[in-house]
Structure 1
Amino acid sequence: MKKLFLVAALIGLSPIFAQENTEITPDNSWLKVGLTAGVPVGDASDASSFALGADIRGQYLFNPNVGVGIASGYTNYFGKDGVDDFGIVPLAGFFRYYFTPSGLFLGVDLGYGFLTNVDYYDTSTGKVESNDGGLYVNPQIGYHNRDWNIYAYYQNTFADNDLNVSNVGVGVTYNIRFN
């Protein structure tokens, strides 16, 4: 069901990415690179006490208020109580709404979160299985200017077997302009 929802959402967003005569300029397109730091919540808080990540995004502005793009990176969850570190590699589309040229923005990433080093015990087979990942959602609210974005976020991957890997934190990204 989660995969069906993801496919439907991406198809619904496809007209946004299919615009004609879009010229890439330093004023409407850039690469965002940055860091995130968060506190695990929910299921992840049982196995980790801190999450640290790298964030990379390619963004295109349709107008001064609406930006879309692709997002990826890596979030490492530091294991506690003898649990090994584990992580998430998201592959997502994102949408941002900028209220003014410099100031408040709202955004959301939607895609698939690939889990690393997350296993579970399958009671039906009696074996330890790898959990590949699931629907990835990352809503954000923050401040932006021409060069920087500073934001608060809630990152959640709805993985198989009712496992939710999530954290709440802050992030900062720097905008690298395309020439």
Structure 2
Amino acid sequence: MKKLMNFKGLLLSGMMMLGMTAFAQDGASTTENYDQGFRLGFGLNGGVTTGDYFNFALGGDVRLQYDLSQRTSLTLTTGYTHLFGEDNVPDLGYIPAKAGFKAFVWGDRFYVLGEAGAGFAVTNDYNETTFLWAPGIGYANDVIDLSLRYEGANDFKTDQVALRIAYGFKL
């Protein structure tokens, strides 16, 4: 448990340091004539869990993104995540509903993302709702979005480290 807490602290510290560099860029701004707008992305997720009750996670999501500038965006993400239980532990499926902030920190391709929201259990005997928080890093171009995130789900007694592969487009 102590190793997990150290991992969480290290991951959060790294995300904060990367996020601070997003606003410490030199040079003239290229956002004067930037056309703000919406993007929509459809993603597949696969990950490993860090708890004692589940083996791995699979899911899909839909992310709506509003570009504030060329380097910053607001996000809303929902979908479905299925956690596969160990031995006699039943599987758990939940619907995440998260809001977040995305900042490009290295050129216009690499970003950090922070999301927070709720996870609503929808399978078996689980009837809980949990707080979700998810820092992540990723790479995006006009259509492909690849990211790695840590997602904490306290009341489900597990967390996950997941890879997301998504297809996105402007609306």
The two structures have a TM-score, normalised by structure 2, of 0.72
CA RMSD of aligned residues (A): 2.1
Distance change >3 Å, CA 118–CA 154, structure 1 → 2: farther
2:115 aligns with: 109
Aligned-residue offset at 1:113: 1.1
Percent of aligned pairs sharing the same letter: 28
Asked if the contact 2:90/2:124 (under 8 Å) is kept, the reply is no
* Structure 1 counterpart of 2:170: 177
For the 8 Å contact 2:77–2:96, the answer to whether it is kept is yes
Aligned to 2:129: 133
The question of whether the paired residues in 1 share the 8 Å contact of 2:56 and 2:83 is answered with yes
Tell whether 2:90 aligns with 1:84.
Answer: yes
Shift of 1:62: 0.7
Instruction: Return the alpha-carbon distance in structure 2 between the equivalents of residues 101 and 89 of structure 1.
Output: 33
Say which SS state the counterpart of residue 99 (structure 1) adopts: strand
Aligned 8 A contact 1:133 1:157 in 2: no
Partner of 1:66: 72
Q: Provide the C-alpha distance between the structure 1 equivalents of 2:97 and 2:116, rounded to a whole number of angstroms.
A: 8
- C-alpha displacement at 1:82, in angstroms? 2.7
Q: Structure 1 residue runs of 4+, over 4 Å off?
A: none
Q: CA deviation digits over 1:106-156, x for unaligned, max 9?
A: 00111111123375xxxxxxxxxx541221111110111111111111111
Give the residue type in structure 2 aligned to 1:138: A
Gapped regions of structure 2 (runs ≥ 5) = 1-34
Q: 1:97: which partner in 2?
A: 103
On the 8 A contact 1:64/1:101 being kept in 2, the answer is: no
Letter aligned with residue 148 of structure 2: A
Where does 1:28-39 land on structure 2 (aligned, <5 Å)?
28-39=37-48
CA contact (8 A) 1:101 1:145 kept: no
Q: Label 1:89 to 1:153 Cα distance change in 2 as closer, same or farther (>3 A).
A: same
